[in-house]
Amino acid sequence: MPGEPDSCAAGGGVPAGAALPGEAGAGSRPRLAEPLVEGTVDGVRVAVPRGATILEAARLCAIEIPTLCHHEGLPPEGSCRLCLSETRGSLAVSCMYPLRESGFAALTRSPAVLEARRYVLSLLVCRAPRAPRIRKLADEYGVSPDPRFMRDPDGCIRCGRCVRACRASGPEAIALCGRGFARLVTGPFGRPPEACVGCLACALACPTGKIAFSERDGVRRIWEREFELAPCPECGKRAFTREQLAFLGGGASALCHSCRRRLMARELGKAAALEAPGGPALLRAL
Ligand code: SF4
Ligand code: FES
């Protein structure tokens, strides 16, 4: 209808109890039982479970809000400030701002949002001028580094994703320490983290590629430490470090990801065949 806001999904939103993108992740809050609240993002009508964030509502409408510190599988921290949007006449951190009542209206590309996002990007690009994702965003928003803040760019934007990933994996080997320009991700007392098990969770979570690692001749190197990779008992491929398997405990499977997927598919296939008419006899004959 003319003048009516667009609806982001057939039927005007999500059905009650539907999962939002990323809801299954470790950082998500359980909201399945929450009632829906309705509002708009950039004029697009949307219904989300109460407590969902502006970012989640926008994603449900396929509206892109750039993010760096946010990761669907980790608790949100709101540290990079890139995902700003505008609601109730103020700027809001979209990945943290919960939508509690119907009637919300968020803008993701208003003049105030774009100006603030450009400023944030001009600071982030000073920290990590060579990070492909940040360079791409800087180009897109027509931003160059602010020379006043261009001090020893080390490629780290202090977003804490690596620290949260390490915490979620269990070892809690690294932390963000210090203040201001001296703030750094490091092991205890600035030394290589002894509790690190070489799982790569930090490096894979990092949005700038700051955490370097390498693998050669069955040895993984990260955080100035070396880890021997154990061979997969099925195919011999080296996927996990011995420390990682020990950390996960005796019951942990040392199978690589591909062999584990194959094994699961085989077991699921067997279970489905057992349910089918004549399945057990067929399985016995194989
Ligand atoms: S190393 Fe990467 S993930 Fe960790 S704080 Fe720096 S930019 Fe973020
Ligand atoms: S993505 Fe929201 S503050 Fe970083």
Q: 65: domain CATH number? A: 3.10.20.740
Asked, for residue 282, whether it belongs to a domain, the answer is no
Atom in ligand 2 nearest the alpha carbon of residue 70: 1
Judgement on whether residues 10 and 96 belong to the same structural domain of the protein? yes
* Nearest partner of 20 among 11, 30, 5, judged by Cα: 30
Q: Model-level pTM?
A: 0.82
Asked, for residue 19, whether it belongs to a domain, the answer is yes
Centre of ligand 1 to C-alpha 82, Å, is 15
Asked, for residue 281, whether it belongs to a domain, the answer is no
Q: What is the DSSP string of 116-174?
A: HHHHHHHHHHHH-TT-HHHHHHHHHTT----GGG-SS--S-----HHHHHHHHHS----
Atom in ligand 1 nearest the alpha carbon of residue 158: 5
Overall number of domains in the chain: 3
The two structure tokens encoding residue 45: 């009508």
Amino acid at 66: P
Asked, for residue 265, whether it belongs to a domain, the answer is no
Amino acid at 88: R
Q: In the predicted model, is pLDDT for residue 250 greater than 90?
A: no
Q: What are phi and psi of 41, to 5 degrees?
A: -125, 120
How far is it, in rounded angstroms, from Cα 193 to Cα 202? 12
Judgement on whether residues 30 and 125 belong to the same structural domain of the protein? no
Centre of ligand 1 to C-alpha 221, Å, is 18
Judgement on whether residues 142 and 196 belong to the same structural domain of the protein? no
Asked, for residue 78, whether it belongs to a domain, the answer is yes
Q: What is the DSSP string of 237-257?
A: -EEEEHHHHHHH-TT-----H
The residues facing 86 across adjacent strands are: 91, 107
Asked, for residue 266, whether it belongs to a domain, the answer is no
Measured CA to CA in angstroms, residue 279 lies from 66, 79, 201, 263 at distances of 50, 54, 41, 19
Asked, for residue 283, whether it belongs to a domain, the answer is no
Centre of ligand 1 to C-alpha 256, Å, is 27
Judgement on whether residues 187 and 130 belong to the same structural domain of the protein? no
Judgement on whether residues 139 and 83 belong to the same structural domain of the protein? no
Judgement on whether residues 13 and 104 belong to the same structural domain of the protein? yes
The answer to whether the CB of 80 is under 6 A from ligand 2 is yes
* Nearest partner of 67 among 184, 1, 161, 191, judged by Cα: 161
The answer to whether the CB of 67 is under 6 A from ligand 2 is yes
Judgement on whether residues 104 and 27 belong to the same structural domain of the protein? yes
pLDDT level of residue 13 (50, 70, 90 thresholds)? very low
Q: What is the pLDDT of residues 81-128, one digit of tens each?
A: 999 999 999 999 999 999 999 999 999 999 999 999 999 999 999 999
Asked, for residue 232, whether it belongs to a domain, the answer is yes
Judgement on whether residues 141 and 100 belong to the same structural domain of the protein? no
Which residue has a Cα nearest atom 7 of ligand 1? 156
The answer to whether the CB of 210 is under 6 A from ligand 1 is yes
Judgement on whether residues 122 and 79 belong to the same structural domain of the protein? no
The two structure tokens encoding residue 247: 């950390």
Judgement on whether residues 101 and 121 belong to the same structural domain of the protein? no
Least confident of 136-145, 207-216, 273-282: 273-282
- Residues spanned by the domain of 130: 117-149
Judgement on whether residues 211 and 138 belong to the same structural domain of the protein? no
The answer to whether the CB of 53 is under 6 A from ligand 1 is no
Q: What is the pLDDT of residues 181-223, one digit of tens each?
A: 789 999 999 999 999 999 999 999 999 999 999 999 999 999 9
Task: Choose between 225 and 283: higher pLDDT.
Answer: 225
Judgement on whether residues 99 and 123 belong to the same structural domain of the protein? no
**Which of 54, 56, 95 best tests ligand 2's pocket when mutated (most atoms within 8 Å of CB)?**
95
Centre of ligand 1 to C-alpha 153, Å, is 13
